[in-house]
Amino acid sequence: ADLKKFKKNQKLMVMGSAISIQAAPSKPIVFREDLPDSEREDATPSGLTNLGNTCYMNSTVQCLHSIPELEQSLLSLSQESRPSFDRMTLPQSLGKLFADMNATTGAVAPFVFWTVLKQDFPQFDERGDNGQYKQQDADEFYTSVMQRLRDELKDTQHLNLSDEEKSEDVISSLFNGQIESTLKCVDNDEEPSSTKIETFDRLKCHIGNKTDHVSQGIMEGFSEIITKKGTTVDHDLNFQKTDRIIKLPEYLTVQFVRFYFKTEKKLKNKIMRKIVFPVDQKLDAYEFCSEELRNRIGQTRKQKLDDEDRAREARQAKSASESATDSSEKAKDDESSAMKTDDASAVATPEVDSVTTNVEQSTDKMVDDDVKTDAMDVETSKPKSETGYYQLTSVVTHQGPYADGGHYIGWARKGPNEWIQFDDAKVSHCDDNEIKKLFGGGEWHSAYMCIYKKVAA
């Protein structure tokens, strides 16, 4: 508009969306740096303000924030380069958001990150007829953000991974695995089979009428019949497609395929079926793996059992040697008094001492070796072999019958039987029993995405 055409004191009408002003916090904001060291570690993590149907974003960001390696990479990125707001990339803005979350115990408003997100991915800027932002799919948000992070987070030197497992970017190093896909024709024996290697960054849990456990849902997606044109005939043939994992990722993301599009309603309906997933137990990826990887996992598990047996025998031997030492000490006292009258009896004592000392040295060395081995395992946080086990670290849940509505919440593990629930700005503590209520089957929240961390050997 030409500002010269406006008259002095002329009234203007400004068009736009009415957004309520954020209310002042009910409690004073507490910065972590002001807390005593004893309170800083146990301080409640920061929540995230809902900016208008942004629970899908807040819940997923909290789960990503709970991954130490990713958090450190993003914090380093934001510290190395501090561009102005209008030049900030999505990874830089997420790193800044993580820094803001680490600085306070109060809720943080993710305005900068949200603005950059909408610039990079306009679908998250979509509004309804009422002018409000539409609810979005947390999995679509996760996919979009991870792709941007993959493009920019290249430095993997600080990650606790072996050299061969460090890829060209942080996201691939942490979240990527490999699957071997085999196609075998079921209609024509003369049709050659084919095999190819594919990279994956998550596994899908397909939910059928008989699916009760996450492992079942994953395996359902690992075997299917596909139709394609044959190479020996000029028409379509049916092929059995079988997938098996040949490389396990450091972090395994599982997405529950709960939403499907219903044409008549033009809505993405939700499958409410209860699907159990490991919470206080480990997720066993053994059955998802190729025969070669299964053999490696089997060797690792056998070695662990052998090590435990050896350590137990060492402890028993040491206990026995201590008992023998007590007995020999008593024998020495008795024979010492007898030496005054019978010099011949003194010969036996050094022999007992020698045997006892050798036993003590041997058992002490066995125990020390086990301790040193354990210490080396701790120092080398990346295992040299595969256990095939994963521990649940975070969950994104959805409540409601449709993908275009409802509410998302994030849940992150703090320790054994201790979890943090992130309901936008509201943050609370809970235990394993609350996480087990997220299996689904009712109106309460059900797991939509789970992130598991590899268990070291």
Active site residues: 55, 407
- The tokens describing 249, both together, are 């990722």
318, 364 contact by CB (below 8 A): yes
- The tokens describing 83, both together, are 């561009």
Partner residues linked to 392 by β-bridges: 452
Residues with Cβ < 8 Å from 392, sequence gap 6 or more?
277, 278, 279, 283, 413, 435, 450, 451, 452
Residue owning tokens 């003369």: 190
- What distance separates the 2 farthest-apart alpha carbons in the chain? 128
239, 185 contact by CB (below 8 A): yes
Return the DSSP state at 282: -
DSSP three-state, residue 114: helix
Query: Cβ-count burial of 375 within 10 angstroms (0-12 exposed, 13-18 middle, 19+ buried)?
Result: exposed
Phi then psi for 312, rounded to 5 degrees? -65, -40
- The tokens describing 12, both together, are 């203007």
Angle between the N-to-C axes of helices 68-80 and 138-152, in degrees from 0 to 180, rounded to the nearest 10: 60
271, 362 contact by CB (below 8 A): no
Residues with Cβ < 8 Å from 286, sequence gap 6 or more?
294, 297, 388
Partner residues linked to 198 by β-bridges: 179
Dihedral-angle region of residue 388 (phi above 0 means left; psi in -120 to 50 means alpha; beta otherwise): left
